[in-house]
Amino acid sequence: MNGAHALLSTLVANGVDTCFANPGTSEMHFVAALDGVPQMRGVLALFEGVATGAADGYARMAGKPAAVLLHLGPGLGNGLANLHNARRAHTPMVVVVGDHATYHKAYDAPLESDIDAVAGTVSGWVRRTMRTADLAADACDAITASRAGLVSTLILPADVSWNDGGRTAPAATLPTVPTVTDDALRAAADTLRSGAPTVILVGGDATRKPGLAAASRVAEATGARLLCETFPARLERGAGVPAIERLAYFAEAAQEQLEGVAHLILAGATSPVSFFAYPGKPSDLVPDGCDVHVLAEYAGAAAALEQLADELAPGATAVSAAAVRPDRPTGDLNAFAAAAVIGALLPEAAIIVDESNTGGVGLATSTAGAPAHDVLTLTGGAIGYGIPAAVGAAIAAPDRPVLSLQADGSAMYTIAGLWTQARENLDVTTVIFNNGAYDILRIELQRVGAVSAQPPGPRALELLDLGGPAIDFVKIAQGMGVPARRATTADELAAALIEALTEPGPHLIDAVVGSLAG
Amino acid sequence: MNGAHALLSTLVANGVDTCFANPGTSEMHFVAALDGVPQMRGVLALFEGVATGAADGYARMAGKPAAVLLHLGPGLGNGLANLHNARRAHTPMVVVVGDHATYHKAYDAPLESDIDAVAGTVSGWVRRTMRTADLAADACDAITASRAGLVSTLILPADVSWNDGGRTAPAATLPTVPTVTDDALRAAADTLRSGAPTVILVGGDATRKPGLAAASRVAEATGARLLCETFPARLERGAGVPAIERLAYFAEAAQEQLEGVAHLILAGATSPVSFFAYPGKPSDLVPDGCDVHVLAEYAGAAAALEQLADELAPGATAVSAAAVRPDRPTGDLNAFAAAAVIGALLPEAAIIVDESNTGGVGLATSTAGAPAHDVLTLTGGAIGYGIPAAVGAAIAAPDRPVLSLQADGSAMYTIAGLWTQARENLDVTTVIFNNGAYDILRIELQRVGAVSAQPPGPRALELLDLGGPAIDFVKIAQGMGVPARRATTADELAAALIEALTEPGPHLIDAVVGSLAG
């Protein structure tokens, strides 16, 4: 058996049975081996950022890694932004980067580059397999490492892939979830018993129902406030799920949320910092004099909260969000009306992939009491995540409707993902919040102007404007095989959404909402 | 003056007056400063790979660097593939990567990543400016380094950009072009006088008319054969320009071209190696027993050939290609008919950006006697280069028509570049060679099957098929504001091409050609 066959066999033997691929010549033996390992589903992406983002969305929903197949250093580069997001989401992933044959690297052929250096910036585990006989064991190590919440990158020289001598796969070991220490538990319990103003910042694996329910019980019993990290990898919410407010994106708003807090208990979240630096404003958002206590890191946070709840709140009951939807609006469409339409119509068991950015300002409120759903967010701030992640989420959960909420600007980074949605006939409804601008940057430019007392000039504003020419997402989607409609009123959006959610397969709605930057 | 203003002033004072930008929050002060430095033209790209590819195409035609503005590590990642191509093309470029404020990096905010490590893989010069007062001098160093044919990457922390204390720009020094050594000249001359079968492999700065004319004179006087490196950054050719055959892409074909050669003289080119490795085939394409002589590296190759011609061929005249065009074909459209249409209709002074890959198989022949033109090729093998490079070439040479010849597969990597073509109203005609497949990979998969005696299986072939759903480039282009038509016959292609070349502004033609893989 050649190396490619051994690698594929090892992956599927360990449950990694989906590979998002954008292959090239150096990966042809891997591609050829797909016919010998039919348990592996190969999903073609037309751009590497689609493959990596899809693997991220897949793993967040499947709870296990997908494989990704990339072509040398430039392919890895094209996939890097969504690997960055995956790293921040603690997403398990096994990235296979095909490289030149071992003996060919010395010739500095045109595609030669330093793959290892680039991979190291996003991967918690990197290895270059040099012998075909080692490939199965290396793949097992990659899977084991990924299962701890890492991007694992296996660099696969072409000759290691095509040579014979591949071995049978051993089984990958699964890492154990870290448990909370007695000290950390006692410190948190003592703090909460003190009655001082305390916020529990929930993140990591505690942003799903069990962790949120435990946090809610603690809050009920102690009066502590709960906040969720700003960008959870997967947040469960809606009717029947304990509600939790997210820490705000803008530093000023987050500071308001944390004002007067004496203790901050981190349960899976990291200590809050400003997303960007701003002149004269703090990077650290912890209020002066506030003590920070680490209850749990990313993994094990839900279990730690459950232990804490059992100690502090044995009789308390979690408070879940009521089932309540906004009225379906009519008339003009803007970001808030669009959010209300979505809140009114969100189907059961939906997966929301949220890259709506400024356009999504009304969504948290409008969907708070909608049927229980999962929200996947932009954990690393590298835009171009949503359309690919929707691909992966839909493949991981084929019986759940995926609602991909997209800003117009960020949609254009990985727009080719729509084609994979069509090719795989995925049940994804994309709503473009089309405001014709990099609206977040207009807001940021206004903030710059507010500090310097110089309003933004026309040449600067021009560089943030997506209106000339207006991007027609309907035509772009249709060009990639996705049925699409434009909505310019709330009624049109509702009609389009009902149609899209009723018909199987992918759809796109180009929702023309206004700018928030004024 | 703040750092951003000092940086922009320094760039324009040194002739770097075009900036291809995809900014984010950390670059807002750079953007805001555009109104204070109106000599700088900011060109918005909707994806970073468009910005870097445009800067590459710009510099190849303008002969000077453009600036690029990218947003942190993920932005650099998205631009990396075309920076790889630029590195291989020896393209001068000044890449400014905005980063978090110096003091903010310690907080590991979501977008934090190792920019320096990624930049190092494609840049010949990398510096992180830590003080506003140093910014102008660092920018000068970046420009000087880039002028030697390097990607220079200046990492710009947000506070270094926004702080006051920026200084007036010194002038960047220009590097000198290396001159040929007496030893190298004598060795080449002796070899050529020996009468042994000799090939001069022309590349680097010798692929334009002066270098080609000198090479042609040497060939006339000595009987040496000329070949051009496989992927020249900018090849001048057509009627009135000395013709030169390019070294073939596939190793077997290149080996045939080099068979029986006793001496290989490198004039700006590197020693020929196989683009990829294949089982049992050599990486090094130099025939056994052939001596390799380095006359000149990339820069200075044209001057070295002129010195060689003056010594060996003082009376010889360069042989230029005759003005001859193919008949305009009618009837069915395939890759060869499309090439003939293009050869028959190529306008005067055209710039061809060639990423047609397999679809372009007939182009070299069909355009050999067309009006003199420049061809920009995919130097680094990282696909997704053509549409962006056409943006840059059109901005660098606004009075010349740009013909962007694109394979369907590679077009999808940086398709958002069409929007910038529309926004800037660039005179670019894109012809998609639409064969509905990664046809080059189908061919490679057949080669794998030929070695293993196992024909490609259906699951492998499926992964290389772009036909389900078919990509409608007409709709995609229209969605980004570029007028577009489909051509399914040679006559339709000719009519569409005439229309596109007559009307100002960008156009796209979706030319439905067949697969070569059979």
What pLDDT digit, counting tens, does each position of B143-187 carry?
999 999 999 999 999 999 999 999 987 788 888 889 999 999 999
Q: Report how far residue B307's alpha carbon sits from residue B293's, in angstroms, rounded to the nearest whole number.
A: 16
CA A251 to centroid of chain Cα atoms? 21
Nearest CA in chain A to B29: A448
pLDDT digits (tens, 9 = 90+) for B104-140: 999 999 999 999 999 999 999 999 999 999 999 999 9
Query: Does residue B452 carry a pLDDT above 80?
Result: no
In A, which residues are within 8 Å of B468 by CB distance? 423
CB within 8 A of A63, min separation 6: which ones? Answer: none
Q: Quick one: closest CA in A to B20, which residue?
A: A463
Q: Which residues contact B340 (CB under 8 A, 6 or more apart)?
A: B326, B327, B328, B329, B362, B366, B490
User: What is the spatial distance between Cα B266 and Cα A353, in angstroms, rounded to a whole number?
Assistant: 54
For residue B19, give the chain A residue with the closest CA. A463
CA angle, residues A54, A58, A60, in degrees to nearest 5: 120
Beta strands in A59-111 (DSSP E): 66-71, 93-99
What pLDDT, on a 0 to 100 scale, did the predictor assign at position A450? 76
* Tokens 């994804």, located at residue: A428
pLDDT score, position A185? 97
Angle of CA points A135, A66, B415, to nearest 5°: 110
Interface of A with B in 82-111 (CB under 8 A): 84-85, 88, 100-101, 103-104, 106-111
Distance in Å, alpha carbon of B445 to nearest chain A alpha carbon: 6
d(CA A490, CA A362): 14
B281 touches chain A (CB under 8 A): no
C-beta of residue A372 within 8 angstroms of C-beta of residue A238: yes
* Yes or no, beta carbons of A107 and B24 under 8 Å apart: no
CB burial of A176-186 (b: ≥16 within 10 Å; e: otherwise) equals eeeebeeebbe
In whole angstroms, give the CA distance from residue B297 to residue A286. Answer: 57
Q: Which chain A residue has the Cα nearest residue B83?
A: A74
DSSP string computed for B108-130 = --TT---HHHHHHTT-SEEEE--
Instruction: Note whether A47 and A416 are within 8 A (CB).
Output: yes
User: Nearest to residue A155, comparing CAs of A18, A27, A15?
Assistant: A27
Q: What angle do CA B116, B122, B128 make, to 5 degrees?
A: 30
Chain B residue nearest residue A39, CA to CA: B459
Closest listed residue to residue A333, CA positions, set A496, A512, A517: A512
Nearest to B380, CA basis, from B119, B153, B131, B87: B87
Nearest CA in chain A to B44: A463
**Do A231 and B110 lie within an 8 Å CB cutoff?**
yes
Alpha carbon of B497: minimum distance to chain A alpha carbons (Å):
21
Q: Which residues pair with A242 in a beta bridge?
A: A320
* Sign of CA pseudo-dihedral B472, A416, A350, A392: positive
Smallest CA–CA distance from A82 into chain B, residue: B74
User: What's the predicted TM-score (pTM) here?
Assistant: 0.98
Beta sheet of B198-202, edge-to-edge order: B245-246, B225-228, B198-202, B263-267, B291-296
A283 → closest Cβ in B103, B412, B448:
B103
User: What whole-number percentage of chain B has pLDDT above 70?
Assistant: 100
Mind listing the pLDDT tens digit for each residue in B297-332?
999 999 999 999 999 999 999 999 999 999 999 999
Cα–Cα dist A42/A38, whole Å = 9
Say how far apart CA B3 and CA B167 lie, in whole Å: 8
Please write the tens of the pLDDT for every residue from A181-190: 999 999 999 9
pLDDT in tens, chain A (518 residues): 999 999 999 999 999 999 999 999 999 999 999 999 999 999 999 999 999 999 999 999 999 999 999 999 999 999 999 999 999 999 999 999 999 999 999 999 999 999 999 999 999 999 999 999 999 999 999 999 999 999 999 999 999 999 999 997 778 888 888 999 999 999 999 999 999 999 999 999 999 999 999 999 999 999 999 999 999 999 999 999 999 999 999 999 999 999 999 999 999 999 999 999 999 999 999 999 999 999 999 999 999 999 999 999 999 999 999 999 999 999 999 999 999 999 999 999 999 999 999 899 999 999 999 999 999 999 999 999 999 999 999 999 999 999 999 999 999 999 999 999 999 999 999 999 999 888 888 888 888 877 777 788 999 999 999 888 999 999 999 999 999 999 999 999 999 999 999 999 999 999 999 877 65
Residues 6 or more apart whose Cβ sits within 8 Å of residue A367:
A237, A238, A339, A342, A343, A346, A352, A373
By the 10 Å C-beta count (0-12 exposed, 13-18 middle, 19+ buried), B305 is classed as buried
Q: Which two tokens stand for residue B152?
A: 């220079």
- A31/B463 Cβ within 8 A: yes
Please indicate whether, in this complex, the C-beta atoms of A32 and B454 are within 8 angstroms of each other.
yes
Confidence of residue B518 (pLDDT cuts 50, 70, 90): low
Closest-CA residue in chain B for A465?
B44
From A454's Cα to the closest Cα of chain B, the distance in A is 9
Q: Which residue does chain B place closest to A477, by CA atoms?
A: B476
Q: Choose, out of A25, A447, A466, the residue to mutate when testing the contact with B (most B CBs < 10 Å).
A: A25
Q: Tokens in use for A513?
A: 């909402």
Q: What is the mean pLDDT of residues B50-65?
A: 98
Residue B100 to residue A277, Cβ atoms within 8 A: yes
Q: Specify the residue for token string 């879940």.
A: A320
Q: Cα(A252)–Cα(B348) distance, rounded to whole angstroms?
A: 58
CB contact under 8 A, B381 and A74: yes
Q: Is B260 left (phi over 0), alpha (psi -120 to 50) or beta?
A: left
B441–A78 CB contact, under 8 Å: no
Buried b / exposed e across A385-407, counting CB within 10 Å, b at 16+?
bbbbbbbbbbbbbeebbbbbbbb
Pairing state between β B291-296 and B198-202: unpaired
How far CA A411 is from CA of A35, A414, A436, in Å, comes to 34, 6, 12
Nearest Cβ partner for B29 among A28, A36, A448? A448
Considering chain B, what is the average pLDDT of its residues? 96
Contact A471 B462 (CB under 8 A): no
- Residues near A188 by beta carbon (within 8 Å), at least 6 away in sequence: A265, A293, A295, A308
Question: DSSP assignment of A263-289, as one string?
Answer: EEEEEBPPPPB-SS--TTS-SB-SPTT
A510 to chain B, minimum CA–CA distance in Å?
Answer: 12
Q: Is B479–A474 a contact, with Cβ atoms under 8 angstroms apart?
A: yes
- Residue B411 near residue B50, CB atoms below 8 Å: no
The beta-strand segments (E) located in A36-134 are 41-44, 66-71, 93-99, 125-128
DSSP A154-170: EEEEHHHHHSB---PPP
A194 in reach of chain B (CB within 8 A):
no
Whether B182-321 and B335-512 share one fold: the answer is yes
- Residue B47 touches chain A, beta carbons under 8 Å: yes
Distance from CA of A118 to the nearest CA of B (A): 5
Nearest CA-CA distance, residue A317 and chain B, Å: 34
**Whats the size of chain A, residue-wise?**
518
A422 vs B380: CB contact, 8 Å cut-off? no
Does the N-terminal peptide bond of residue A38 adopt cis geometry, omega within 30 degrees of 0? no
Confidence of residue B439 (pLDDT cuts 50, 70, 90): confident
- How far does the CA of residue B140 sit from the closest CA of chain A (Å)? 24
CATH superfamily, domain A335-512, is Thiamin diphosphate (ThDP)-binding fold, Pyr/PP domains (3.40.50.970)
Question: Which residues in chain B are contacts of A165 at CB distance < 8 A?
Answer: none
Instruction: Report the pLDDT value the prediction gives residue A192, as an integer from 0 to 100.
Output: 98
pLDDT in tens, B231-272: 999 999 999 999 999 999 999 999 999 999 999 999 999 999
> Cα-atom radius of gyration of chain A, to the nearest Å?
24
Helix (H, G, I), strand (E, B) or coil at B420: helix
The dihedral region occupied by A381, where left means phi > 0, alpha psi between -120 and 50, and beta the remainder, is left
Q: What does DSSP say about strands B373-377 and B235-237: parallel, antiparallel, or unpaired?
A: antiparallel
For residue B355, the number of C-alpha atoms closer than 13 Å in the C-beta half-sphere is: 31
CATH 3.40.50.970 at B3-162, yes or no? yes
Check if the beta carbon of residue A158 is closer than 8 Å to that of residue A99: yes
Strands (E) in B282-358, as ranges, are 291-296, 351-355
Domain ranges of chain A: 3-162, 182-321, 335-512
State the average pLDDT over residues B45-71: 98
pLDDT value of position A439: 85
Given this structure, which CATH class describes domain A182-321?
Answer: alpha beta
The rounded distance, in Å, linking the Cα atoms of B54 and B46 is 12
User: What average pLDDT does this structure show over B376-380?
Assistant: 98
Q: Per the CB < 8 Å rule, is B475 touching A471?
A: no
What's the CA gap between B100 and B130, in Å, rounded? Answer: 12
Give the DSSP H/E element, type plus range, for residue B495.
helix B490-502
Residues forming a β-bridge with A67 = A19, A94
C-alpha span between A71 and A65 (Å, rounded): 19
Inter-CA distances, B501 with B235, B396, B397, B425, B506, Å: 22, 18, 16, 14, 9
Question: Taking the C-alpha atoms of B446, B448, B451 and B452 in order, what is their torsion angle to the nearest 10 degrees?
Answer: -110
- Decide if B366 contacts B373 (C-beta within 8 A): no
Give chain A positions within 8 Å (CB) of B155.
none
What torsion do the CA atoms of B181, B182, B185, B188 make, to the nearest 10 degrees? -110
Q: Which pLDDT does position A517 carry in this prediction?
A: 66
Structure tokens that stand for B310 in this block: 């003056």
Per-residue pLDDT band for B517 (boundaries 50, 70, 90) equals low
Q: Are A318 and A196 in contact (CB under 8 A)?
A: no
B386-399 burial, b if ≥16 CB within 10 A, otherwise e?
Answer: bbbbbbbbbbbbee
Q: Which pair of structure tokens corresponds to residue B254? A: 């290149």
